[in-house]
Amino acid sequence: MQTPLEQTYAAAVPELSVPWTADQPPRPEIVWLNEPLARELGYEPEQLRGPEGIALLTGQIAGTVAQAYAGHQFGTANPQLGDGRAVLLGERLAPDGSRHDLHLKGGGRTPFARGGDGKAPLGPMLREAVIGEWLHALGTPTTRALAVLTTGEQIAPRRGVTPEPGALLVRAAASHLRVGTFEYAAWHLDPEVRERLVEHTIARHHPGADGPLGLLEAVARSQAELIAQWMLSGFVHGVMNTDNMTLSGQGIDYGPCAVLDEHRRGAVFSSIDRGARYAYGNQPGIALWNLSRFAETLVPLIDPEDPNGAVEQATAVLEQFEGWYLAAHSRGLARKLGLPETLAADEVEALGEELFALLEAQHVDHTGFFRALEEGEAERLFEEPAPFEEWQRRLRALGGGQVAEGVNPLYMPRNVTLERALQAAHLGDMGPARELLEAVSAPFLRRAEWEHLEGPGDGGEDFMTFCGT
């Protein structure tokens, strides 16, 4: 059916993975196949639906591995995490020459499993698919779901006592190299292995980087771009642990994540984030914290003879993160507000700070505001319009307000809407989930049949997600 998958990562650093095969599901069935992505990867969708395709998508092929990594979880170091219920199927070379990991989640326990049966329920697998397709449609670097399958079995529930339908997610990613990968290598393996890991990461993702210090800068720049786009779209990852920060600059692992309805800097939608560590407004600072942990793993390789000098060099790179982030954020915000590209970043950011304070004070919908501004109807969203009218006068004085089409989305994975779609899928009705996947994949063009997907729905601000992916 296809050229065999490669395993260049496992070959380059075999110390960081173990051969492992996913459990064979009793009655696998594809409930959603990402046909555009399949074709980008060089697969014909009908082939993936056939016996060989099902074998691939369920991990019943030779050469699969489970990856080792560590991480800081909510600020606390965990020396061993890894693919507890997942396997790396291999690397696919697409027709355009790009390389993609294919990764299977929900395939049973691996040597890195810490508890549970290694299975995954259908709802969280579909959530990751929806979030990934929406972010991709916005142009945000992200992993994407290739397919979601049910396994034909009922698994232990995450909450309550009712069993849930088992499912598999096949994810495509630039790679699964994470900050946590380097933490594992730094904590458990010798310098020679870490040097090979640096070389492999540079070759795969940042070929222009000069050694470990150049790698740190490249990763920091890519994360500054990514987090700026998250903030502009109102996306809240929910669990920004170091094992969830990729070195490619893609977003990954969309478990307890959500998207703002009302604009709130302190918004938290994750049931396990009791201290609000990963609140919406904290995401840029957490990214820098994670990058600092990455830098710590590289210090012995930057200058083995002068650790203090290596720390100074790494610190000098990290001190530039805020500037890279603000440049990316102001550039994106200017597009969303229709401001000239030539306007100074500090002027854009000052106007943005006033706007976001106003949105929060008057409980205005984040996505709804930017779309209404594009359509010339933003005034209707404010109970007290005078402060907005004053802000809008300043916006227009700076040349803003005329927003290009295709900048501000209309459709997004509204919390209540997404949860209802996942509940329907749990009960056997995939219609709402498929509709939502179609809408978030084309988020800019209004369609009459999707009118019910435009607003936030009732109860979105009290919405909470649970760790299930």
User: Whole-angstrom Cα distance, residue 288 to residue 139?
Assistant: 22
Specify whether the CB–CB gap between 237 and 257 falls below 8 A. yes
User: Whole-angstrom Cα distance, residue 364 to residue 260?
Assistant: 10
- Tokens coding 256: 């307890």
* Residue 117 annotated among the catalytic residues of the structure: no
User: Whole-angstrom Cα distance, residue 347 to residue 368?
Assistant: 23
**What Å distances lie between residue 308 and 210, 220, 312, 327, 363, CA to CA?**
20, 21, 6, 30, 48
User: Whole-angstrom Cα distance, residue 249 to residue 231?
Assistant: 15
User: Whole-angstrom Cα distance, residue 270 to residue 256?
Assistant: 5
Q: Specify the pLDDT at position 360.
A: 97
User: Whole-angstrom Cα distance, residue 189 to residue 186?
Assistant: 6
Q: pLDDT tens digits, the chain, 469 residues: what are they? A: 556 899 999 999 999 999 999 999 999 999 999 999 999 999 999 999 999 999 999 999 999 999 999 999 999 999 999 999 999 999 999 999 999 999 999 999 999 998 777 899 999 999 999 999 999 999 999 999 999 999 999 988 766 668 889 999 999 999 999 999 999 999 999 999 999 999 999 999 999 999 999 999 999 999 999 999 999 999 999 999 999 999 999 999 998 899 999 999 999 998 888 899 999 999 999 999 999 999 999 999 999 999 999 999 999 999 999 999 999 999 999 999 999 999 999 999 999 999 999 999 999 999 999 999 999 999 999 999 999 999 999 999 999 989 999 999 999 999 999 999 999 999 999 999 999 999 999 999 999 999 999 988 666 556 666 555 4
Count CA within 13 A, CB hemisphere, residue 78.
Answer: 19
Where along the chain do its domains lie? 8-177
- Tokens coding 12: 């380059």
Which DSSP state fits 454? S
**Exactly one of 83, 101, 243, 253 is catalytic; which is it?**
243
Residues 6+ apart with CB under 8 A from 374: 338, 403, 405, 407, 408
Radius of gyration over alpha carbons of the chain, in Å?
22
**Which residue shows structure tokens 């496992």?**
10
The identity of residue 240, as a single letter, is M
DSSP string, 37-55: HHHHTT--HHHHHSHHHHH
Q: Specify the pLDDT at position 469.
A: 46
Q: Specify the pLDDT at position 393.
A: 96
- CB-count burial class (<10 Å; 0-12, 13-18, 19+) for 355: buried
Furthest-apart CA atoms within the chain: distance in Å:
66
Q: Which helix (H) or strand (E) holds 67?
A: strand 65-67
- Tokens coding 335: 């597009």
- Nearest alpha-carbon partner for 372 in 401, 412, 330: 401
Phi, psi values for residue 67, rounded to 5° = -95, 145
Specify whether the CB–CB gap between 181 and 242 falls below 8 A. no
Which DSSP state fits 255? S
User: Whole-angstrom Cα distance, residue 144 to residue 121?
Assistant: 18
